[in-house]
Amino acid sequence: MGVSLKDIAEKLNLSKTTVSWVLSGQGNKKGISAETQNRVFACARELSYEPNLLARSLNTGISKTIGLILPSISDSFYAHIAHQIESEAEKEGYSLMIASSNSEIERENAMIRLFRSKKVDGMIIAPTKISKREISRLVDSHYPVLLFDRYFPEMRVNYVIINNEESSYKLVRHLIDKGFRKIAIITTNPHLLTMDMRREGYANALSDAHIRINPDLYGEVTYVNYQDNIYSTLDRIFHAVPDVDAFFFTTHILAIEALRYFYDRGIDINDGNWGLASMHEDSLFRVLAPRMNIAHFPIEEIGSNAVRILLNQIRQSNDPAAGEYVPESKVLPCRMEFRDQ
Amino acid sequence: MGVSLKDIAEKLNLSKTTVSWVLSGQGNKKGISAETQNRVFACARELSYEPNLLARSLNTGISKTIGLILPSISDSFYAHIAHQIESEAEKEGYSLMIASSNSEIERENAMIRLFRSKKVDGMIIAPTKISKREISRLVDSHYPVLLFDRYFPEMRVNYVIINNEESSYKLVRHLIDKGFRKIAIITTNPHLLTMDMRREGYANALSDAHIRINPDLYGEVTYVNYQDNIYSTLDRIFHAVPDVDAFFFTTHILAIEALRYFYDRGIDINDGNWGLASMHEDSLFRVLAPRMNIAHFPIEEIGSNAVRILLNQIRQSNDPAAGEYVPESKVLPCRMEFRDQ
DNA sequence: CTGAAAGCGCTTACAG
DNA sequence: CTGAAAGCGCTTACAG
């Protein structure tokens, strides 16, 4: 079918070796005559030769491909991350294989195994759930991996996350500074460490301001059916604490649903009497809740750090002289957007 | 490093052939004894053997990977398409390599060459711009390709698009039925066939209703800097036709920017005196312009048809008995959402 | 029932 | 300055 090195070599009465050297740019280094080199280039162009990268990868053990596993590529946050990762990876000559786990742990595990069999040089994973069989196997076999968005503190693995506790603290602290005292927290999935950290930021901000933490102001929405769930959660809070005056949302998804709730219940959240804060943004905020205080996730930094750290490990794992790899981690600050009341 | 067939074969004193047959499920077909098969399976499990798919692909010429090239994976429309394509492809055992062209033709060309060198079995491309050197080369060499979103009518290639002309016609027709007469069209990139078709739908609806097409109601926004551009365009239209009463947007992106314009100019677009229609949706419409008439793009159908058609061609191109391939195309209807006034 | 051998298309010591 | 040869890890005719 395609044109191979052999075809060029035969046509020019050279060896595959010579052709390979010339085409891979090692012509001068290997002392191939300028004339021979030109003949090779001309012939390659004439036959429109394109190297078979599968063969090269099989030989070198380097595929120049990284695997990206996300909960869902259609989610705008992950889609932006993917774009950033793609462009950073491309700068270094790497392509991307992408898979969505759909937050199903067995899918995630299957994708990891598949990517490993396809010999990606490393993987960037936003893990789903607490289970982590295949991720552990990767780490144990020194396969280059980087986790982001969520991570497992006890695992010796690269990760990039945001400063969940600190950003949450700052948001809630700002609400307190603006005079709000009955601040509800709306959160989800307590088994996710990320959410724990955000709740901790909330709790610390309150206790630093000597405000008692009221369990009635704690709203936990299960991930499945959260659209319905948030209605009953908010109803419950309003019933238990009628003078609730502010809301801290641990993710933009919950904030959006709550805004819909307020609209349906005829509560004008923008009349100046309410404090609002959310981790991460949504384009709807600008319109629906211009007073929302926001911790913007640093998409670019997450992507560029993820690629940088992963490629470091890949390079080191290809270097026989390198010693034991020490995992690297990065905690990135959010860009805070505070509203004056 | 990894465990190979050879390791298993040596350990069990079998040939690589036998091990390969057992592991690929051809054990019974090849008449390998049940005992031998069990020993192989047990050993593979014990050594946690994972096949090197690169080697398999090099041998068979089948990589079970398809390449997806989009203008940008961070765009919500393309992200949703990608998700759909991924899940359809996965059903058939295919993985996805993804690349964003960023609407730069040379990037698109480079990605096509790269994917070809990486031996993807086929590519799904949302082409950018009119240039098409590498796409032509693919088609000429019978490489399986499917275009979507945009296409080149003169090329013998698979494609999936929506019924641009018809959906536009219906939207504009609906505005006319609701009594609007001075309907502006806001569009972009006239060299894109897609936009031509949408403009044609607009024009046909007007002329079928015997409404003169007023050039002053034609607003064309260049793609670069369209945010600024749309302001001057709309200002011009309002100046030339002060009693303009409706707007047809050929894409949701333009509609969003226009809504911002209306807001800035203090025009209450939702007071019941305006007709609005847009190709494709945006989550902001629900809030900012509840009266927007919308032609919803059929994301699922685009994705599933794209994969189906591409895989057909891949299968046929792997089948030596197959005759010449005849390209397949699909024009999908939009789901129309009409507002009563 | 099982194996020896060739080949997919590269790269890279080794040799001259 | 250039080449013959081995090998990456598979699959698959061919042979017995």
C-alpha gyration radius of chain B: 26
Which domains occur in chain A, in start order? 5-51 (1.10.260), 63-161+300-332 (3.40.50.2300), 164-296 (3.40.50.2300)
Amino acid letter, residue B226: Y
Burial bucket for residue B1 (CB in 10 Å: 0-12, 13-18, 19+): exposed
Q: What is the pLDDT of residue B172?
A: 98
Asked if pLDDT for residue A178 goes beyond 80, the answer is yes
Question: Which residues from chain A sit within 8 angstroms of residue B44, using beta carbons?
Answer: none
Q: Cite the DSSP H helix spans in chain A.
A: 5-12, 16-23, 34-46, 53-60, 76-91, 105-117, 133-140, 164-177, 193-208, 226-240, 252-264, 285-288, 299-318
DSSP-based three-state secondary structure for B305? helix
Of the two residues A176 and A134, the one the predictor is more confident about is A176
Backbone angles phi, psi at A20, to 5 degrees: -60, -45
∠ CA B102-B108-B110, rounded to 5°: 125
Q: What is the pLDDT of residue A253?
A: 87
- Residue A341: band (very low, low, confident or very high) from pLDDT cuts 50, 70, 90: low
Tokens at residue B52, please? 């090197």
Record: contact A74-B83, CB cut-off 8 A: yes
Alpha-carbon distance of A250 to A297, in angstroms, equals 12
Q: Could you tell me the maximum CA-CA distance found in chain A, to the nearest angstrom?
A: 89
Q: Are A290 and A276 in contact (CB under 8 A)?
A: no
What are the residue ranges in chain B where pLDDT is below 70?
1, 190-191, 341
Q: What is the pLDDT of residue B25?
A: 82
A51 CB within 8 Å of a chain B CB: yes
Q: Are A265 and A257 in contact (CB under 8 A)?
A: no
**Length of chain A as a residue count:** 341
Alpha-carbon distance of A223 to B287, in angstroms, equals 24
- Give the residue among A229, A230, A273, A225 at the shortest CA–CA distance from A255: A230
Contacts (Cβ under 8 Å, ≥6 apart) of A14: A8, A36, A40
Q: Are B246 and B273 in contact (CB under 8 A)?
A: no
Using the structure block, give the residue that is written with the tokens 């032609």: B295
Q: Count Cβ neighbours within 10 Å for each residue of A154-183 and write b for 16 or more, e otherwise.
A: ebebbbbbbbbbbbbbbbbbbbbeeebbbb
Indicate the residue of A55, A86, A284 with minimum beta-carbon distance to B99. A86
| Proximity of residue B52 CB to strand C below 7 A | no
Mean pLDDT of A61-75: 95
Contacts (Cβ under 8 Å, ≥6 apart) of B152: B127, B132, B135, B193
Backbone angles phi, psi at A140, to 5 degrees: -60, -35
Interstrand relation of B293-296 and A275-279 (parallel, antiparallel or unpaired): unpaired
Q: What does the DSSP assignment read for B70-94?
A: ES-TTSHHHHHHHHHHHHHHHHTT-
Distance from CA of B177 to the nearest CA of A (A): 31
Tokens at residue B135, please? 């796409």
| Proximity of residue B54 CB to strand C below 7 A | no
Burial bucket for residue A60 (CB in 10 Å: 0-12, 13-18, 19+): exposed
Residue nearest to nucleotide C11 (CA to C1'): A59
Q: What is the average pLDDT score of chain A?
A: 91
Q: Are A245 and A183 in contact (CB under 8 A)?
A: yes
Q: What share of chain A is helix, strand, coil (3-state, %, to 5)?
A: 45, 15, 35
Q: Are B79 and A73 in contact (CB under 8 A)?
A: yes
Alpha-carbon distance of B263 to B220, in angstroms, equals 20
Q: Cite the DSSP H helix spans in B184-298.
A: 193-208, 226-240, 252-264, 285-288
B50 CB within 8 Å of a chain A CB: yes
Backbone angles phi, psi at B138, to 5 degrees: -60, -50
Interstrand relation of B293-296 and B329-332 (parallel, antiparallel or unpaired): unpaired
Q: What is the pLDDT of residue B226?
A: 76
- Give the residue among B314, B333, B327, B332 at the shortest CA–CA distance from B160: B332
Query: What stretch of H or E contains A97?
Result: strand A95-100
A283 CB within 8 Å of a chain B CB: yes
Contacts (Cβ under 8 Å, ≥6 apart) of A243: A182
Interstrand relation of A335-337 and A293-296 (parallel, antiparallel or unpaired): antiparallel
Alpha-carbon distance of A94 to A120, in angstroms, equals 10
- Within residues 38-67 of protein chain B, the ones with CB less than 7 A from nucleic strand D are 49, 51-52, 55-56, 58-60
Asked if pLDDT for residue A190 goes beyond 70, the answer is no
Q: Give the nucleotide at minimum CA-to-C1' distance from B31.
A: C1
Q: Are A118 and B52 in contact (CB under 8 A)?
A: no
DSSP-based three-state secondary structure for B17? helix
Lowest mean pLDDT among A27-36, A60-69, A275-284, B134-143: A27-36
Q: What is the pLDDT of residue B228?
A: 80
Question: Which residues from chain A sit within 8 angstroms of residue B118, using beta carbons?
Answer: 53-54, 65, 95
Q: What is the pLDDT of residue B179?
A: 94
Q: What is the pLDDT of residue A293?
A: 97
Amino acid letter, residue A281: E
A55 CB within 8 Å of a chain B CB: yes
Amino acid letter, residue B75: D
∠ CA A211-A217-A218, rounded to 5°: 110
Alpha-carbon distance of A101 to A72, in angstroms, equals 6
Write out residues 198-237 of A within 8 Å (CB-CB) of B: none
Alpha-carbon distance of A118 to B324, in angstroms, equals 31
Alpha-carbon distance of B112 to B66, in angstroms, equals 11
DSSP-based three-state secondary structure for A182? coil
pLDDT tens digit string along A108-123? 999 999 999 999 999 9
